[in-house]
Amino acid sequence: MAVDNASIMTQTMNDLPSGLNAEDLVDIYANMVLIRTLDERIWAMNRQGKAAIVASSQGHEAAQLASVWALRHHAKDYFCFTYYRDLAVTVSQGLTPTEALLGFLAKEGEPMSGARQFPQHGAIPDRKVINISNVVATHISHAVGWALAAKMRGEPTVVAAYMGDGATSQGEVHEAMNFASVMKLPVVFIVENNKYAISVPQHRQMNVTEVSSRAVGYGMPGVTVDGTDVVASYAACAEAVERAARGEGPSLVELDVERYLPHTSDDDDSVYRAKEEIDEARKRDPLAKLKALLQSAGLMTDERDAELRESARREVDAATDAAEAAPFPPDDDVLERVFEEVG
């Protein structure tokens, strides 16, 4: 994996890619703190038997947030087709912690699917997030279709299609990438490569070190960057978003990230992953790295950080209370909205 772990420490605010400024980084950091706090809470609630299933975003936050900020700053309009591990995308796009927790607890009023689906699945079109399905990679062609619709109507939408490294083995990803490139559609394929598909390590998934090596076979640009580095991730995503916005077609951006927890709360990673490997991965923690960068630029102090964490804790506490107090959806809802109600 071609990443440069050292570079981030030497980065200064002068190096920022166009479109990204210091306040953005502070803002992204605040989002990270909230999302990490929420993610930890959800995991804990699973261990308490309250949340049936959780896939943690811990280790992926920088990549996800950088992509969202790049979309905001470089596209007139955009849409995110996420997958289950994209809590930082959904929350930064406006899913509140209470709403997120309604999903994890399967409560009434959950906005994405009405608690019909696993947490984080369904759609919040008003917040530009769609995550239809648990079947890995089916959404990639949906994202391409959404982009096709936008292009046909002359709308300036750029569509981001998020997936893991594992997902890239699916045939539908091939078909969708090829289709998007032939039709020059405004899509950014974002691969959050955490080097595992559940227990299967990257080298048993593919005989290449970089997923981005596939891009050339579709006639589109492909790049791999350090996905724990907000600045590098932003730069790569921004370039791809701009290309899409210019009507030049799709790109593939591979963000090299880490998965700190087991695949989901149902998984036990100790049988296939050495503790040392995870310890090593923790050295790249996106929160710590961004905090260090901000501190080196005088934009963050330990006190301010503690305040952010405290405020995040309070927000997540309140969300927990609200979600726990909510009822389950009523039984008779089970038969509704299979088809359009006519008449």
Ligand X SMILES: Cc1ncc(C[n+]2csc(CCOP(=O)(O)OP(=O)(O)O)c2C)c(N)n1
Q: Active-site positions?
A: 259, 263, 272
CA–CA separation, 48 vs 235, rounded Å?
A: 40
Find the shortest distance in angstroms from Cβ 281 to ligand X: 13
Binding partner selected for residue 30 from other proteins, Mg ion, ligand X, none, CB under the kind-specific 5 to 8 Å limit:
none
Q: Which residues pair with 163 in a beta bridge?
A: 191
CA–CA separation, 15 vs 251, rounded Å?
A: 23
Among 83, 39, 80, residue whose Cα is nearest residue 57: 39
Coil, strand or helix: which one is 125? Answer: helix
Contact status: 59 vs Mg ion (CB under 5 A)? no
Cα–Cα–Cα angle for 201, 206, 209, rounded to 5 degrees: 85
CA–CA separation, 321 vs 317, rounded Å?
A: 6
Residues whose CB falls within 8 Å of the CB of residue 58, separated by 6 or more in sequence, listed in order: 36, 39, 40, 259, 260, 261
Binding partner selected for residue 23 from Mg ion, ligand X, other proteins, none, CB under the kind-specific 5 to 8 Å limit:
none
Q: Please, which residue, 138 or 264, has the CB nearer to a second copy? A: 138
Which letter does DSSP use for residue 218 in this model?
Answer: G
Query: Binding string, 251-280, against other proteins, x = CB under 8 A?
Result: ---------------xx---xx--------
Tokens of 262: 């087991």
Contact status: 6 vs ligand X (CB under 6 A)? no
Provide the 10 A C-beta neighbour count for residue 67: 31
Contact status: 152 vs other proteins (CB under 8 A)? yes
- Measuring CA to CA, how many Å separate 160 from each of 63, 83, 289, 343? 13, 11, 25, 37
Contact status: 332 vs other proteins (CB under 8 A)? yes
- Answer for which of 37, 46, 90, 194 binds ligand X (CB under 6 A) is 194
Find the shortest distance in angstroms from Cβ 334 to other proteins: 4
**What residue ranges bind a second copy (CB under 8 A)?**
169-175, 178, 181-182, 184, 203-208, 213-220, 249
Contact status: 213 vs other proteins (CB under 8 A)? no
Contact status: 121 vs other proteins (CB under 8 A)? yes
Contact status: 85 vs ligand X (CB under 6 A)? yes
Q: Please, which residue, 119 or 186, has the CB nearer to ligand X? A: 119
Contact status: 194 vs Mg ion (CB under 5 A)? yes
| Residues contacting ligand X: total by CB under 6 A | 16
User: Interface with ligand X by CB under 6 A: which residues?
Assistant: 85, 134-136, 163-167, 192, 194, 196-198, 259, 263
